[in-house]
Amino acid sequence: MPEMPSMTGPMWMPTRPPTWLRLLIWHPQPIPVFLVLCIVAAVLYLLGVTTLRRRSVEWPVSRTISFIVGLLLIVAVTSTGVGGYAMVLFSVHMSQHMVLNMVAPLFLLMGSPITLALRALPSTDPSRRALLTLLHSRFARVISHPGFTIPLFLVSLYGVYFTPALDWAMSGWLTHNLMIAHFVLVGLLFFWPIMGVDPSPRRRSHPVRIGELLLTLPFHAFFGISIMMSTQMLNTYFMHVPPGWSVNPIDDQYAGGGIAWAFSEVPTLIVIGAVFLQWVRSDDRSARRRDRQADRDDDAELTRYNERLAALARFESTR
């Protein structure tokens, strides 16, 4: 059994170099904020699913699994050795950032928590009315606009790592946890209108949503490449790797840049695949609606279209 990390100050810090086992071993922070929040979110979500089942309303199991996986990913990078080594090694920190910002939000959103809340809460419940008011508010329209979400997403990369913000965030328990929450919230805000699974104040077409995602791809890739090309440390915090670990901070920073670059590809493909699948299903539903309407009115739309063509042909023949 590997030696457990020691406690220094408000956060535990590892005392031995990382191995896969030490990274994956269970070890929550002294004040397990995100573990508790994820447990509360899971309980509330499962209560919503149970409420629907009592009303004989179906809720896809895949959505429940997706939401729970998203929560487990957050716990996996904050309540295990990853959370501790992310306080020492830039590469581990960057892995944690990418999971919190680009992977966990995707699974949480595919769980459709807003839709679940709207269906599970009674129509007279104040919480449901408050949620609907928020969804239709000007505030929601602003924070879901690509002119807000895309710059915010990019600033959370360049603004954190190419300014003293990272040193400030890593300096204490509160600021560190605020940074973690920031990564998750920014990912949720960015992918929320793009995924289009839950209701949002701005409904955009499938090509536009894919375009928004692809717009950020080169900026994200350039971010990772910029870190890899840097010959100096971007911050002072990760310069102090324990000497016995035989880790060069510059080499570790290079590895972190490669991780950021790699993460610009996989989540993008997942989102594009999900949006494209929604697009195909939407077309299928539209086709089925047209077929049902044609059966009800004896294909009146096609009849009107043929009559317009016949009228146009008669008009051309009399010219």
Please check whether residue 319 lies inside any domain of the structure.
Answer: no
Sign of the dihedral defined by the CA atoms of residues 230, 232, 234, 240, in that order: positive
Q: Is 138 inside any structural domain?
A: yes
Q: What is the pLDDT of residue 4?
A: 40
Tens-of-pLDDT digits for all 319 residues of the chain?
A: 334 444 343 456 788 888 888 898 888 777 899 999 999 999 999 999 999 999 999 999 999 999 999 999 999 999 999 999 999 999 999 999 999 999 999 999 999 999 999 999 998 899 999 999 999 899 999 998 989 999 999 998 999 999 999 999 998 889 999 999 999 999 999 999 888 788 888 777 777 777 888 888 888 889 999 999 999 999 899 998 888 898 999 999 999 999 998 887 777 777 777 777 776 765 445 445 544 444 455 555 545 645 565 666 665 566 6
pLDDT tens sequence across 242-295: 888 989 999 999 999 999 988 877 777 777 777 777 767 654 454 455 444 444
The total of structural domains in the chain comes to: 1
Count of beta carbons in the 10 Å neighbourhood of residue 253: 25
Q: For residue 27, tell me if it sits in a domain.
A: yes
Opening angle at CA 315, ends 312 and 319, nearest 5: 140
Is 17 within a domain? yes
Q: Which domain holds residue 157?
A: 6-264
Q: Are 27 and 83 in contact (CB under 8 A)?
A: yes
Residue 218 is assigned to a structural domain of this protein = yes
pLDDT at 168: 93
User: Tokens 């539209």 map to which residue?
Assistant: 286
Q: Is residue 315 part of a domain?
A: no
Instruction: Check residue 3 and give its pLDDT.
Output: 42
